[in-house]
Chain A
Amino acid sequence: MSSTHSVPSKSSTEQARQKVRGRGERSPLASVGLHLTLLVASVIAVFPPLWLVVTSFKPKTEAFDTSLVKDFTLGNYSHVLGETAFLDWLGNSLLVVGLTTVIGVFISATTGYAVSRFRFPGMRPLMWMLLITQMFPVAVLIVPLYNLLATLGLLNQPIGLVITYLTIAVPFCAWMMKGYFDGIPVEIDEAGRVDGLNPFGVFWRLVLPLARPGLAVTAFYSFITGWAEVAYASAFMTGEENLTLSGGLQSFVNQYTSDWGSLTAAAVIIAVPAAIVFGLAQRHLVSGLTAGATKS
């Protein structure tokens, strides 16, 4: 491409360099710039979580010390695990989010399949509904839901929060599952039908096992959504033993107390498992998301 014959006037050193540099390669300067930019961006991205971890190992009184760990201690962790209601919150969160995930993924998988495979009356409105429910502001639903749950006696009950979280998880999961099912060849369904399976059999025995990665990612997505939800959890759950993690974490630092040591330790315990699972699922998460959103 960058043929040296066409530029005979250039000096020999330049010719040599051009010969070496093939298509898509950069000058060393550009390389340095590229690496530098990416490095700076990475540092900005990584620094706050890293600082959280560092702070969690400092004694409570030195939470704002700028130095790296001077007196390494696990005191914050033992305090959080032993002397606060953290384990209660963890249990509540696991229960609520676990139930949401299982129920949500199952019902959104059936919907995603139906929308992906069948052309039936009411399909377009359904797709629209799934999109529109995603933009429902917390603010319209929160008061009526609060009243509804109060009438049903479900305030401060994990099950109330599960129902609420389904409203967030289901539309999005159905949307994502549709994208996954679109990627599974229809011939598989047809083969199943020829062999005498009914539509439910095809779905349950053939398509669902093939969509297992999609299911995992969808489950993970609804897990993370519930895990990190703040507004409903703060409004519906009161009393220290009923809080979920996001509500509980707020109680470490508010206008009355600021126990940054415990907060950081608790935050690390919450974040590490989530980050690990995220690392495993992240690649599929986005491909599913964009597939579900662009193919329709």
Chain B
Amino acid sequence: MAVETSQSVAKAAGAESARGPGRRTEKNPGRLRRALSTHWYAWSMVAPVVIVIGVIIGYPLARGVYLSLTDANEANVERTIGVNHIPATYEYVGLDNYTAALTDSVFWDRLGWTLVWTVSCVALSFTLGLVLATMLNRKIKGRGFYRMALVLPWAVPAFVSVFTWRLLFNERGGLFNKLLAGGGFDTISWLNDPMWAKISVIAVNVWLGIPFMLVALLGGLQSIPGELYEAAEMDGASAWQRFRHITLPGLRSVSSTVVLLSSIWTFNMFPVIFLLTRGGPGDSTEILVTYAYRLSFVVSPRDFAGSAAWGVLILLLLSLFAVVYRRALRKQGEVW
């Protein structure tokens, strides 16, 4: 009986390893099967997402990486004109697109501005969000009203807000310039002067970003136990000391998450720049993402390969940032 069972197990394991793809199954007969029987429901639950991500992110990503290694553009990709089907004629060119991008001053210019944009947007919206959150966290009349008002920019779809700002910034008749003119000042071409255009896009993005920071940080503040403040006050800590040694450490986990997320979002913030200035004037407000979009959909001939190379570079930069950021957090003792 026992012999029979073990034989059948061995047979099953043999069949398994014959079918199984890797060395692992051979080394550990039946391991895959055992894993399958304990984990099959977990795996089947995550399967849809894995498939979705694999098919509509994995495949395009792999293809994007491949395209970045070719000289594909509008004129040589596979296309159909009327009844004529023209096959693709682009070729593999190795790392040419990357060397071209990295030796081109345009890339470094755009990268520099993207970093200025990301850092100033995140820093400003985080600081202002924190200030407003600490204010709202105190006992104050009309707290509900202030909260509602301050969160409103988040509630309006971003592209609608951006158009509103364009209305306000409008050079000839916009409200800001009317007010300036009414006060006897020179009007400012908010979106058509490179310097002012940069300030304007940052201002709009900070305006859009504060509510998220505010609400997240307010949640964090409310989870700090009040006893800590009482104890500190008993020990004679000043308001600043309490803020520095209780509030800030208490907000660590929330703020590390929101800073990471909002840095990534801001780095890739397409709609604000695209809708507010279209990257102009010239390309002065063009961040990496909008420039890559311009390469593949606006310029003629559309440079698919160049755009894909830019995309891959953006992805590498962001991954690097995320890894460094996580490592820095871990060094300070964060769990995740």
Contact = CB atoms under 8 A, between A and B. Distances in A.
Contact of B63 (A41, A63, A144): A144
Contacts of B152: 45-46, 49, 275
B157 A227 contact: yes
Contacts, number: 287
Interface residues of B, number: 104
Interface size class on chain A is 35 or more
B45 interface: yes
Residue from A174, A285, A289, A296 having most chain B Cβ neighbours under 10 A? A289
Interface string B145-189: 110111111111111110111111010111100110010000000
B64 interface: yes
B167 A174 contact: no
Contacts of B312: 140
A10 B178 CA distance: 54
Contact of A135 (B53, B161, B275, B319): B319
Contact of B150 (A42, A122, A138, A228): A42
Contact of A270 (B138, B160, B172): B160
A231 B151 CA distance: 25
Interface string A38-54: 11011011101101100
A8 to B, nearest CB: 19
B199 interface: no
A49 B153 contact: yes
Contacts of B53: 129, 133, 167, 170-171
B220 A231 contact: no
Contacts of A249: 159-160, 163
Interface of B: 35, 39, 41-43, 45-46, 48-50, 52-53, 56-57, 59-61, 63-65, 67, 77-78, 128, 132, 135-136, 138-142, 145-146, 148-161, 163-168, 170, 172-175, 178-179, 182, 207, 210-212, 215-216, 219-220, 230, 233-234, 253-254, 257-258, 261, 264, 267-268, 270-271, 274-275, 288-289, 292-293, 296-297, 304, 307-308, 310-312, 314-315, 318-319, 322, 335-336
B42 A290 contact: no
Given A34-B138, A45-B153, A137-B289, A110 B48 contact: yes
Contacts of A107: 48-49, 52
Contact of B318 (A38, A137, A146, A235): A137
A31 B271 CA distance: 39
B52 to A, nearest CB: 6
A141 B178 contact: no
Contact of A141 (B146, B149, B311): B311
B67 A52 contact: no
Contacts of B43: 114, 120, 122
Contacts of B173: 63-64
A133 B148 contact: no
Interface in A111-136: 111, 113-115, 117-118, 120-122, 126, 129, 131-136
A156 to B, nearest CB: 15
Contacts of A270: 157, 160
> What 7 pairs between A and B have smallest CB-CB spacing?
A64-B173, A140-B311, A139-B292, A144-B60, A42-B149, A139-B311, A278-B155
A199 B45 CA distance: 10
A294 B253 contact: yes
Interface in A45-75: 45-46, 48-49, 51-52, 55, 63-64, 66
A290 B216 contact: yes
A286 interface: yes
